[in-house]
Structure 1
Amino acid sequence: MIRRKEQYNEASQLTVSHEIRVRFNETDPLGIVWHGYYITYFEDGREAFGREHGISYLDVNHYGYTTPIVKSVCEHKLSLRYGDVVRIETTIVDTPAAKMIFRYKIYDANNEIACTGETVQVFLDAKGDLVLNFPTFFEEWRRKVGLLK
């Protein structure tokens, strides 16, 4: 069976840049960020995106949905270190499927890409069932931000 890779467009106008400072507890004895924290940084980026664009976890929950992550990809390029102020760029990907795809770029203190990644989230209703079509509130949000005509 041949599977076709899905290709979607980043909605570049819907990118949020968010800075954080690397905390001591996120590093190993050499002061380098432990690899697992990059996923946490992606979440920091998603939360900043949600707050700025009115699609936060609390907003989604208000409408009776949750959006668990079903896939995450993380590619490490450079090490981050304790005390660095790093920038997380989070961009939503425009997709016709009933899911949210976010792409991330994490820049180190020298403004070089330290990490890239992607997460995919699906919609579950209040009973925990998978929703196969965009919820009405999310379609309205997509229209409001220019993803739907």
Structure 2
Amino acid sequence: MPNWLALTLLVIPAVLAGLFGTREVRAAHRERAVPSVPQGWVSARGVIVDEQLTAGRGGEANPLRRPVVTYQTADGREVTFTSRIQAAGMPKRGTALAVFHDPVQPTRACIDPQALTGVPMPLPGSSRILVALIWLVVIVVTAMFAVVLFNV
């Protein structure tokens, strides 16, 4: 088998692992990021009426909670939405809290970031560092394969 073909067959799994690793790191970062409140959204009082429980990664004892919140718009409509953030430290069922919503589309809403004090936030830049480390490993593995195959 030619060396270039062997190198290609060895590098493809490393690159695929890098791509999947990058996707997982970014998905985990998005899942835990606290939303910023868009311009023009208005505040309302809400209450957590339910929660979706998910077992944590690695069989953690504390399940991840994604609150289901109900609030009333200024014109008296009752709206229910599910938070896009899930974490073990989310407020529990029955907790009253502030929410922000789009007055034009009230189902577009988020929990007030100030109410999420128990939610661990990702470290700033941590996902970028992890992605850089993943790709550094891919490059090092590729270089090692090249050195071995081509006797450089």
TM-score by length of 2: 0.31
More helix by share: 2
TM-score by length of 1: 0.31
More strand by share: 1
